[in-house]
Amino acid sequence: MSGDLPLRSMRSSHIEPAARPRELAAELGLSGEEYDRIEATLGRVPSTAELGTFSVMWSEHCSYKSSRVHLRRLPTTGEHLLAGPGDNAGVVDVGGGRAVAFKIESHNHPSFVEPFQGATTGVGGIVRDILTMGARPIALLDPLRFGDPTSDRTRWVVDGVVRGIGQYGNSIGVPTVGGEVVFDPCYQGNPLVNVLCVGVLPADGVQRARAEGVGDVAVLIGQRTGRDGIGGASVLASTDFSSAGDDAKRPNVQVGDPFAGNTLIECCLELYARDLVRGIQDMGAAGIVCSSAEMAAAAGLGMRIDLDRVPLREPSMQAWEILCSESQERMLALVGPDRVDEVVVACARWGVDATPIGVVTDDERLVFERGGVVVHDAPARALADEGPVYQRPLAPWVHPAAEEDVDTSAPPDDLRAAAMAVLTSPNIAPPTWVTQQYDSIVGSGTVQGCGASAAVLRLPPADGWGVLPADAGGVAITTDGNGRWCALDPELGARLVVAEAARNVACTGARPVAATNCLNFGSPERPEVMGAFSATVDGMSAACIALGTPISGGNVSFYNATDDQSIHPTPVVGVLGIIDDVTAAVPVAPPDPDVVLCVVGADARPGLGGSEYLWATAGRIAGPPPAIDLDEERRLQDLLVSTGGAGLLRSAHDVATGGLLTTLVEVCGDRWGAEVDVDATLPVHQWLFSEAPSRVVVTVDAARVDELERACIDAALACRRLGVVTDDRALGVGDVLQLDLDVLAAARARVFTDLFEAAEETAAPTR
């Protein structure tokens, strides 16, 4: 089928220039300097199609033009990494001939403009990133951040986002096994919808997004191309919002079809298994131009595509619209000429369209034709690799209350009221209203899911098929972020976030080996935002190096600002760990009572800076975040992995948001109670609510406490006996606090239902 592609072998000597090119460039978000650079690259006035492709490929979202100089400081190599930054997703060798692909992405701006479709296509996009690496998607995690939960606007956004995530993930049969739900006024105008996907593949089966040979045929696989999503990368993801309204941006939001997504997954996996493709790329941001430019540039080759062959939903589409459309459920595969027929037949068997649209060339040019006329002729590398790189001005990020000494503040007048305020905060209460809308067990690989320290997944065989063995090895995966810490101190906050994510993985007994990041920030044109970004990268780099979790890939989301009001610097980190036997994974709550509670790791110390206690009781963000010793953190994680793997720990759960009291309530779960002694070395409110890191509450059989204490001594870590787990559903904290856990559980269960149960699918309320 490749021989009948009507593509000329010579470049056209004349391309129709765009009318009013400078004005059009400005409308598309290109600066005057960027336009001059395009004209110099082409040696002529660009066409309308070329201005469209350069605007999306050189957008902040696609080119990383403001972040690239800083991202180079992140560690990106490790003994387990098979693929890293520059690929569609990171790939980790987990042994046994298997590998795991994982990555986190953002769909923040589309999810605010159109919450349901924004979240739906966010899930679909990250799933295809994993699929593009050759992996079967097996799990999703969704870190979400919203504004004031009592506002109509937030309720509308939450309702749409949660339904969108559930609808796509449930429909394609990929379980949602974790994530976060966080509320803070800074996200009122810019909610964060980050999505992480995990997939499994043979360790020797990694697919690459690059051309392999001149004459290979470009085959468009999947849905028809429409006008939805045009300019998503440049209009939505690379500009600020304004409170004047966002209705005009709704056409820039893509529309997803999970059932088409599901057949696309199965179709592509068959193509991989039969070795029918030589390169493949998802058509996500920037559509056809991005996938073709990146694959051609990666090999130093070119590509020539006939846009008349692209199946369209709307035949009246112009060339630039076809090139820049971000219509979903589409892939661009490169296929040997002698195997095109096999690919078309295989796709048809799944009900998936496969259309040859172009060929790989040896001239390093990206040439598009429409109606027998060349409408675009530009160097592939200029689009994919040679966009502008900016060293934006940096200024310190300063929070006005960052230096306030909150750790010496007076204790609350009513300790019980303070405890209830923290435990029933929507940032602490269990988000069952959210998670019950997700299928968390489809596929039968979920060992621990929503509510665990980290999700634990039993991996299928390397080819993604077959029965899951009961004692299969697997992985643990989690996401963490803390915008309050990073608002107070971006560098320290980033260290704390990485450490918490890795610690949560280690709590299950899995060894953390790699990380992925989603860096959510305001406008890069503000020096203080770039100062925070640079500091965040430095903190993340230091923590990843110390903890052995190199960055395998990720995403930068800038322009999360409305009317010049930025969100908190919000790095979200996903950490992956390897566990030899998922049946031995350590849970949050012990399986039986009458075990001893201990806190291991760092000594108890003040840590109310940026805490949930300050927010829940006083609505304040203040004080320096708690300090962290990364060497001590590494020793703690090593201890958790070794003692968990040896069967010493009956449960493990880290002290994090909400402090020790929240950890104890979550360890008791819905079955147990506890009696604990108060540590008199700290004021009781500090002891209960401090979020100082590197501490984990574990349970151990009474006969083995000495063994745990010896292990802690060998690791130069503290081990303090807290008390015992009981079966009477009460939490007694010395003589200072008594909580009926059944009454508390009922109050916590009402938090989300009271806020969101009545949410309806209505027109978007005003901000």
Of 61, 80, 653, 685, which residue is the catalytic one?
A: 61
HSE (side-chain half, CA atoms, 13 Å) at 557: 31
Which pLDDT band holds residue 308 (cuts at 50, 70, 90)?
very high
Residue 762 pLDDT exceeds 80? no
Q: DSSP secondary structure string, 285-320?
A: TTHHHHHHHHHHHHHT-EEEEEGGGS-BSSTT--HH
The confidence score (pLDDT) of residue 365 equals 96
Residue 598 pLDDT exceeds 70? yes
Which of 19-33, 250-264, 511-525, 657-671 comes out lowest in average pLDDT? 250-264
Residue 249 pLDDT exceeds 50? no
The confidence score (pLDDT) of residue 1 equals 42
User: Average pLDDT in the 175-192 region?
Assistant: 97
The whole model's pTM is what?
0.94
> What sign has the CA pseudo-torsion 741, 742, 743, 744?
positive
Q: Is residue 8 part of a domain?
A: no
Q: Is residue 614 part of a domain?
A: yes
Render pLDDT for 609-642 as a digit per residue (tens, 0 to 9): 999 999 999 999 999 999 999 999 999 999 999 9
User: What single-letter DSSP state applies at residue 401?
Assistant: T
What percent of the chain lies above the pLDDT cut of 90? 88
Residue 169 pLDDT exceeds 60? yes
Residue 235 pLDDT exceeds 60? no
Q: Where are the beta strands (DSSP E) in 392-492?
A: 446-448, 455-458, 474-481
- Residue type at position 763: A
Which of 192-206, 250-264, 677-691 comes out lowest in average pLDDT? 250-264
Q: How far apart are CA 121 and CA 126, in angstroms?
A: 9
Q: What's CA 13's distance to the chain center, in Å?
A: 45
Q: How far apart are CA 182 and CA 188, in angstroms?
A: 12
Which of 13-22, 252-261, 445-454, 620-629 comes out lowest in average pLDDT? 252-261
Q: Is residue 270 part of a domain?
A: no
Residue 251 pLDDT exceeds 80? no
Render pLDDT for 460-498 as a digit per residue (tens, 0 to 9): 876 555 555 555 789 999 999 999 999 999 999 999 999
Q: Is residue 292 part of a domain?
A: no
The confidence score (pLDDT) of residue 347 equals 98
Q: How far apart are CA 285 and CA 282, in angstroms?
A: 9
- Burial label, 680 (beta-carbon count in 10 A; 0-12, 13-18, 19+): exposed
Residue 234 pLDDT exceeds 50? no
Q: Is residue 736 part of a domain?
A: yes
Residues facing residue 478 across a β-bridge: 575
User: What single-letter DSSP state applies at residue 250?
Assistant: G
CATH number at residue 708: 3.90.650.10
Q: Tell me the pLDDT of the chain averaged across its residues.
A: 93
Which pLDDT band holds residue 757 (cuts at 50, 70, 90)?
confident
Q: How far apart are CA 77 and CA 573, in angstroms?
A: 17
User: Average pLDDT in the 603-607 region?
Assistant: 95
Residue 269: closest CA among 195, 338, 337, 172: 172
Whether 587 and 644 have beta carbons less than 8 Å apart is answered as no
| Known catalytic membership, residue 61 | yes
Of 107, 109, 376, 399, which residue is the catalytic one?
A: 107
3-state DSSP percent of the chain in helix, strand and coil, to 5 = 35, 25, 40
Q: Is residue 738 part of a domain?
A: yes
Which pLDDT band holds residue 688 (cuts at 50, 70, 90)?
very high
Q: Is residue 7 part of a domain?
A: no
3-class secondary structure, 356: strand
CA angle, 90 then 93 then 98, to 5°: 110
3-class secondary structure, 359: strand
Q: How far apart are CA 360 and CA 279, in angstroms?
A: 11
- Residue type at position 702: A
| Known catalytic membership, residue 568 | no
User: What single-letter DSSP state applies at residue 43?
Assistant: T
Q: DSSP secondary structure string, 555-622?
A: EEE---EETTEEPPPEEEEEEEEEES-GGG---SS-SSSS-EEEEEESPP----TT-HHHHHHH----
Render pLDDT for 550-577 as a digit per residue (tens, 0 to 9): 999 999 999 999 988 899 999 999 999 9
User: Average pLDDT in the 314-318 region?
Assistant: 92
Walk across the sheet containing 330-335 and list its strands: 279-282, 330-335, 217-222, 354-361, 302-306, 365-370, 373-379
Render pLDDT for 409-440 as a digit per residue (tens, 0 to 9): 999 999 999 999 999 999 999 999 999 999 99
3-class secondary structure, 81: strand
The confidence score (pLDDT) of residue 256 equals 80
Give me 708's structure tokens. 């745990």
CA angle, 179 then 478 then 109, to 5°: 45
Domain with 597, as residue range(s), is 586-755
The confidence score (pLDDT) of residue 387 equals 93
Residue 178 pLDDT exceeds 90? yes
User: Average pLDDT in the 276-284 region?
Assistant: 93
Q: Is residue 712 part of a domain?
A: yes
Residue 238 pLDDT exceeds 70? no
> What's the total number of domains in the chain?
1
